[in-house]
Amino acid sequence: MRFLALILSITSGFALMRYRLPPVETVMTSIVVDLALAPITVIIAYRRNRSTRLWILLGLSFGAWALAWVLIFPLRRSVSVRPDDGHSPEAA
């Protein structure tokens, strides 16, 4: 249980705040925080045209880290290819 509490405190961000409670309370608090942050993460991801299925999983797994990531890092834009309009030398 102590190992699970350590993992969850790292993934939810409590380890940075030096959050120290018994393992059961740490696990329960981490789960509640992750459940609360996951919908917010998904809403922001949706508004930024990201995969909502991926971000719900990341939000539930990594809590505050997933929220920070979706807020800070923009979506990489792919290079768009213009359709052939018939004016290229190959079309002649």
With respect to residue 61, please indicate whether it lies within any of the assigned structural domains: yes
Quote the number of domains for the chain: 1
Residue numbers of the domain that contains 59: 2-72
Count of C-beta atoms within a 10 Å radius of residue 30: 23
- Structure confidence at residue 38 (pLDDT): 93
With respect to residue 85, please indicate whether it lies within any of the assigned structural domains: no
CA distances from 50 to 6, 10, 34, 62 (A): 30, 25, 19, 17
- Structure confidence at residue 6 (pLDDT): 80
Confidence grade of residue 16 (pLDDT, cut at 50, 70, 90): confident
**Distance of alpha carbon 11 from alpha carbon 43, whole angstroms:** 20
With respect to residue 90, please indicate whether it lies within any of the assigned structural domains: no
Cβ neighbourhood burial of 14 (10 Å; 0-12, 13-18, 19+) = buried
pLDDT digits (tens, 9 = 90+) for 18-70: 777 788 888 888 889 889 999 999 999 999 999 999 999 999 999 889 999 99
With respect to residue 38, please indicate whether it lies within any of the assigned structural domains: yes
